[in-house]
Amino acid sequence: MARCWLLLLTCVVASVASSGHAAVVEHTFSVGNFSIRQLCKPPMVITAVNNQLPGPTIYVHEGDTVVVHVDNNSPYNVTVHWHGIFQRGTQWADGPEMVTQCPIRPGRRYTYRFSTAGQEGTLWWHAHSSLLRATVHGAVVIVPSSGDRPFPFPSPDKEEILLLGEWWNDDVVRLERDAFLTGVPVRPADAYTINGKPGDVFKCSGSNRESEMYKLKVQANSTYLLRIINAAVNTPFFFKVAAHTFTVVAADASYTTPYKTDVIVVSPGQTVDALMVAAATPSRRYYVTVSPYQTSFPPQPFRDTVATAVVEYADGGGSAGNTSPAPPRRRPVRAPTPKVHDVGTAHRFLSNLTALLRPGQPTVPLAVDTRMFVAFGLGLADCRPGQTKCRRSHAPALAGSMNNASFELPAAVPLLTAHSENISGVYTRDFPDAPPVPFDFARPPGRLAFTSKSTKVRTLRYNATVEVVLQNTALVARESHPIHLHGFNFFVLAQGFGNFEEGEGAKQYNLVNPQERNTVAVPAGGWAVIRFVANNPGMWIMHCHFDAHLPIGLAMGLRFRTDQLQIVPCHHHQGTCLTADSLIEIFSFF
Ligand SMILES: *[C@@H]1O[C@H](CO)[C@@H](O)[C@H](O)[C@H]1NC(C)=O
Ligand SMILES: *[C@@H]1O[C@H](CO)[C@@H](O)[C@H](O)[C@H]1NC(C)=O
Ligand SMILES: *[C@@H]1O[C@H](CO)[C@@H](O)[C@H](O)[C@H]1NC(C)=O
Ligand SMILES: *[C@@H]1O[C@H](CO)[C@@H](O)[C@H](O)[C@H]1NC(C)=O
Ligand SMILES: *[C@@H]1O[C@H](CO)[C@@H](O)[C@H](O)[C@H]1NC(C)=O
Ligand SMILES: *[C@@H]1O[C@H](CO)[C@@H](O)[C@H](O)[C@H]1NC(C)=O
Ligand SMILES: CC(=O)N[C@H]1CO[C@H](CO)[C@@H](O)[C@@H]1O
């Protein structure tokens, strides 16, 4: 009890200190049917927030409290996840369906309330129910609290959000249901998009191709802060702007040492903030290209196309007062896109980023309390009873697994509810710290591919420093999976190809300024080592951010022991799924 009061007191003091002008920023999200024309097809009804794609941007100052009322006017169950927000003391607002909450049912409202204290940069929000994330998503921008604390880099003249996505000419909920019934992942998207628009690469006749293209209007010599978000469901991207270069200043809302590059690599779930100076010839226009990065082997089907936007200079370079008619439009300048399998370019970008060291900011902890080795990837499992189209009755279905456990969400009671109310039979606490047998993870061993479904959770001691080796396997295929941890940022100490070797791997650790992220794209057939302090009690999920892989089990639960600490002092519980979708108030200490 004394501890509890001490913690409360500390939090109150900390929040007063860090949020002099903290405001409450309130939004109402109506999730509902939205009719949209894409790729020259007849209008299609999709599920989107407030009749827009992407959905509304949440723009706040560090320390502000965000309150979002989600009205579910769609025909589907839905929840919203605030990707990268720590949710300290507000675990109930994290959003993954059946992990921290029951789905919000059609016709119901649910209110999320959380703080942005201690976080700055670009994050995003998205549905965490079925494939709805494909169209139910938007940006979260947290700028430094006004006044004394500016950006730790030269202030840009203007900011621009570029949200990259995938588009299906189809009902994504039906696609996902089919994927479950057949045990085969969702088919590739029909197009990639930049701020909801595919660009002009689809040559459908009779329509104005320019109108399908997002326009980034710039002033010559101005500096733009591009906030790039990969909201795609299954595809990592290369991002380029012809004749322009970038200085990366942040990734996943963590500042980086300024890093100059002409190509940005961003995997699903990740964000990159980069400065771009509009220093090209103003009389021309320039393509922004978003092209796929594919690592799967044996190759899996993917959409081999590019999304385009265009950079246009104000005045097109003409001097003010020039009244002569605009010259005929030339096609924008285009830079070559990296090859789809360009592992070298991707790895250089992803492994070269380092954290910006700033006084007062936490750095990588050096002593490790808990070590885990998590071998993960795609394997096979028996078709389940509900999978009625799964090839033959005993043919296998594709199944993601971590340490040979293929994660299944509980059906009736969310994990956090079970945890907080001590309801047994919802999950087990036996997620193993290592795979059952060590083997050559980077090469297909065949017989080890079989896994089975379970809901296994690893309990971590409060305040423990946890190091996890994320080892990609090649059970049925090799691929660079983006692994996302809820509730935390982690330090990425090192990444490499092949099998992680304890001695050799540790020699490569960056223990000075490793990049901090919430999602790491683990190299295909390779590994990444992450480290974090388990100081945010709750029930958090770590999963592959290819949405096609989450429903088939590429996930695990992490339960952070709370018995030493009263972490959610007075919230009303949500009950089970039979009662949970009404409005709940969440009290916390900010
Ligand atoms: C929304 O769209 C779904 C699927 O297309 C349809 O079944 C439903 O009737 C629509 N609802 C409204 C309110 O238009
Ligand atoms: C941009 O900077 C270049 C080089 O300093 C200069 O020549 C040019 O006039 C500037 N353009 C504008 C519109 O300020
Ligand atoms: C939780 O439930 C188990 C039995 O299911 C019981 O043994 C245990 O004492 C309970 N713990 C608390 C804190 O209530
Ligand atoms: C993995 O799990 C499956 C299903 O439970 C089991 O048959 C198999 O033996 C396990 N693999 C190893 C290497 O233990
Ligand atoms: C957690 O760890 C930090 C740093 O080691 C320490 O200062 C703090 O007292 C610990 N808190 C608890 C509640 O154990
Ligand atoms: C929505 O969620 C409720 C409660 O979990 C569940 O009973 C219902 O089957 C779900 N509906 C759909 C369409 O998935
Ligand atoms: C500064 C830095 O870390 N450079 C590295 C970028 O990545 C390439 C290839 O992985 C390395 O060779 C560089 O040393």
Mean pLDDT value across residues 455-474? 92
When pLDDT is averaged across residues 274-283 and rounded to a whole number, the result is: 97
Q: Is the CB of 281 under 6 A from ligand 2?
A: no
Residue 450 in tokens: 């079989």
**Ligand 6 atom nearest 103 alpha carbon:** 2
Please check whether residues 555 and 473 belong to one and the same domain: yes
AA letter at 202: F
Distance (Å) from CA 428 to ligand 3 centroid = 14
Of 398 and 75, the one with more pLDDT? 75
- Check if 351 has its Cβ closer than 6 Å to any atom of ligand 7: yes
Q: Are residue 260 and residue 270 in the same domain, yes or no?
A: yes
C-alpha triplet 351, 353, 356: angle, nearest 5°: 150
Contacts of 294 (CB under 8 A, 6+ apart): 235, 236, 302, 340, 341
Ligand 1 pocket at CB < 6 A? 33, 45, 75
Torsion 99-588-138-160 (CA) sign? negative
Domain assignment present for residue 575? The answer is no
pLDDT at 337: 97
Q: Answer whether 146's CB lies under 8 Å from 214's CB.
A: no
pLDDT for 364-393, tens place per residue? 999 999 999 999 988 888 887 778 877 654
Of the residues 357, 388, 418, which one is the last residue of a structural domain?
A: 357
Based on the fold, state whether residues 201 and 323 are members of the same structural domain. Answer: yes
- Same domain, yes or no: 190 and 140: no
Cα 325 to middle of ligand 2, angstroms? 23
Whole-angstrom distance, CA of residue 514 vs CA of residue 520: 12
508 CB under 6 A from ligand 7? no
- In this structure, are 269 and 283 located in the same domain? yes
Would residue 507 count as lying in a domain? Answer: yes
**Phi-psi category of 377—alpha, beta or left, where left has phi over 0 and alpha has psi -120 to 50?**
left
Residue 583 has a pLDDT of 21
CA of 443 to the centre of ligand 1 (A): 47
Peptide bond just before 298 cis, omega within 30 deg: yes
Of all ligands present, the nearest one to the C-alpha of 260 is: 7
Number of domains present in the structure of the chain: 3
Task: Give me ligand 1 centre to Cα 203, in Å.
Answer: 30
- Who's near 179: CB < 8 A, 6+ residues apart? 185, 186, 548, 551, 552
Q: How far apart are CA 154 and CA 134, in angstroms?
A: 34
pLDDT at 503 over 60: yes
For residue 462, the CA-to-ligand 5 centroid distance in Å is: 9
Residue 545 maps to which CATH number?
2.60.40.420
In 55-108, the DSSP E strands lie at 58-61, 65-72, 80-83
* Ligand 2 pocket check for 11: Cβ under 6 Å: no
Say if residue 87's pLDDT is above 90: yes
Q: How far apart are CA 218 and CA 314, in angstroms?
A: 6
Same domain, 430 and 345: no
Parent domain of 498: 370-560
Helix (H) or strand (E) holding 179: helix 172-182
Strand partners, 67: 26, 113
147 by Cβ neighbours in 10 Å (0-12 / 13-18 / 19+) ranks as exposed
Which residue's CA lies nearest to atom 9 of ligand 7? 348
Contacts of 422 (CB under 8 A, 6+ apart): none
Decide: helix, strand or coil at residue 313: strand
Do the Cβ atoms of 238 and 265 come closer than 8 Å? Answer: yes
Q: Look at residues 156, 143, 124 and name the one whose alpha carbon lies nearest to residue 21.
A: 143
Is residue 483 over pLDDT 70? yes
The last residue of one of the domains, among 127, 152, 177, is 152
Given 328, 357, 386, which residue is the final one in a domain?
357
Which residue type, as a one-letter code, is found at position 370?
T
User: Taking 70 as the threshold, does the pLDDT of residue 161 lie above it?
Assistant: yes
Domain shared by 79 and 195, yes or no: no
Which tokens is 527 given? Answer: 């590994």
- Residue 276: the pLDDT is 98
397 and 472 inside one domain: yes
Nearest CA to ligand 6 atom 5: 577
Question: Do 138 and 40 lie in a common domain?
Answer: yes
175 and 287 together in one domain: yes
**Distance, CA of 553 to CA of 269 (rounded, Å):** 17
136/204 same-domain check: no
Verify that 275 and 415 share a domain, yes or no: no
pTM here?
Answer: 0.91
Q: What is the Å distance from ligand 7's center to 333 Cα?
A: 29
- Which ligand lies nearest the alpha carbon of 45? 1
Ligand at shortest distance from the CA of 420: 3
Of all protein residues, whose CA lies closest to atom 5 belonging to ligand 1? 45
Q: Please provide the DSSP assignment of 26-80 as one string.
A: EEEEEEEEEEE--TTPPPEEEEEETTBSS---EEEETT-EEEEEEEE-SSS-B-E
Q: Give the number of whichever ligand sits closest to the CA of residue 257.
A: 7
The ligand 2 atom at the shortest distance from the C-alpha of residue 221 is: 1
Choose which residue among 30, 35, 45 to substitute to test ligand 1 binding: the one with the highest number of ligand atoms within 8 A of its C-beta: 45
- 77, 128, 131, 174: residue to mutate for ligand 6 pocket, most atoms within 8 A of CB: 77
Ligand 6: centre distance to CA 46 (Å): 19
CB 540 within 8 A of CB 92: no
Nearest CA to ligand 4 atom 2: 451
Q: Is the pLDDT of residue 210 over 90?
A: no
pLDDT score at 330 = 82
Give the tokens for residue 214: 């997002």
Residues with CB under 6 A from ligand 6: 77, 102-103, 105, 577
One-letter amino acid of 398: L
**576 lies in a domain?**
no
Is 147 within a domain?
Answer: yes
Residue with more model confidence, 386 or 579: 386
pLDDT of residue 95: 95
Q: Is 343 in the pocket of ligand 7 (CB under 6 A)?
A: no
Give me the phi and psi of 8, to 5 degrees please. -60, -45
Query: Whole-angstrom Cα distance, residue 94 to residue 116?
Result: 13
Distance, CA 235 to ligand 7 centroid (Å)? Answer: 24
| 8-state DSSP, 209 | G
Encoding tokens for residue 190? Answer: 């029909």
Residue 308 lies in a domain: yes
Helices (DSSP H) in 142-237: which residue ranges?
172-182
How far does residue 501's CA lie from ligand 7's centre (Å)?
21
- How confident is the model at residue 69, as a pLDDT? 96
**Counting atoms of ligand 6 from 1, which one is nearest the CA of 102?**
5
**What is the CB-side half-sphere exposure of residue 35 using CA atoms within 13 A?**
2
Residue 582 lies in a domain: no
Ligand nearest to the Cα of 465, by number: 5
- Range in 339-348, 353-362, 375-384, 520-529 the model is least confident about: 375-384
577 φ/ψ angles, rounded to the nearest 5 degrees: -65, -15
CA separation (Å) from 39 to 48, 79, 135, 482?
Answer: 18, 28, 16, 28
157 found inside a domain: yes
Q: How far is the CA of 220 from the centre of ligand 2 (A)?
A: 7
Evaluate whether residue 239 is within a structural domain.
yes
